[in-house]
A and B are shown apart, each in its own frame.
Chain A
Amino acid sequence: MRRSLFSVLLTLVLLCAVSAPARGGEMVWSGLVVATNTPRPQVPPMEMHRIAGTLARTFGYNQFVLIGQSRKTLQSGEENWMAASKHFSLHVDARGPRKDGYRLNLQLFQDRHVLLETDATLSKNSPLVIRGPQVGAGQLLLLLIVQ
């Protein structure tokens, strides 16, 4: 009797755990990438593999070099983080989960100057890429991907 009751309760707990909606716990990868063209392109960062082809077709570069990155696991959806290189930094201010994704405020700094600021709703289905300034022969790209 006690064993049966324990089994029922354990099943209930497991069902509740499985059926509970996943809130938070998703990781957002933020990257600062310099896209260039070269005869022998490096392998793009692992986080970009999914969209490397799309980026190559869209921006016309065949090499993507990571100069700064950050990984942030969202728990409440209201975290702040920053991905930075020597001269650039991307400040991300998450402002809570929404039905259609995470609401973010993004600021791109060049040293101490704000180059660009934008608000966005970041969805897992759709990576965000920002085309930044020209850097040498390449292009600065800012990437945000929900993994």
Chain B
Amino acid sequence: MFMKTFEENLIAWIDGELSEKERARFEASLDDSAGAFAEKAQAEKLGNFLRTQLQPRAMGNEEFFHHQLRERIARETATASTTEDASPVPRETWWSIRRLLWLGASSLAVFAVCTFFVMRQQPVANQSEYLTQILNARVDPGVNPDATVSIFQTKDEEHVTVLWVDGLKSLPSEYAAK
């Protein structure tokens, strides 16, 4: 064992860590025992003050915090055990190429069928109620000054549109040649 220095003995004395024998010897070695005792009392006072003031703050929701902590520990423990136990499985998504192809083809088919029925319901222009119309008719007045034009449609189911031109010059039968 080696001898303690004065400072070490002083600190141990103030902290009350010396044995009876050491304390008696140290107190006997003090030159200013009154000052030393006053300093010790002051150090004890300061220590007590610090101990009372520096207590850890009490938690307002201590139970909840503990509960959360236990839950998290349990969860992490379970996850860790599952990861360790389970063999690695490749993750498979629902959107595989095959399913995407089928989905696309099916959508196109539905679209085509709908388009087909919609188009069928629309009236075709040439089969609608429209009839042939004469927009304007012109006869050269220099060649046929007495020509007149009239337009009508037959009342039967054929709905023939007739452009009736009167007053054209009559021609000999040779003009009927093919």
Residues of A that sit less than 8 Å from B by CB: 1, 5, 8-9, 11-12, 15-16, 18-19, 21-22, 26, 34, 50-51, 54-55, 57-58, 65-68, 85-88, 97-101, 110, 113-138, 140, 146
Contact = CB atoms under 8 A, between A and B. Distances in A.
Interface centre among B98, B126, B164, B171 (most CB of A within 10 A): B126
Contacts, number: 182
Contacts of B172: 135-136
Contact of A120 (B108, B113, B133, B174): B133
Interface in B144-178: 144, 153-154, 156, 158-166, 168-178
6 contacts: A19-B120, A101-B132, A117-B137, A124-B127, A126-B132, A132-B165
A114 B140 contact: yes
Contacts of A97: 125
Interface of B: 98, 101-102, 105-106, 108-109, 112-113, 115-116, 119-120, 124-140, 143-144, 153-154, 156, 158-166, 168-178
A54 B158 contact: yes
A134 B162 CA distance: 16
Contacts of B120: 19
Contact of B126 (A26, A55, A128): A26
Contact of B165 (A34, A101, A131, A146): A131
Contacts of A86: 175, 177-178
Contact of A5 (B105, B125, B126, B144): B105
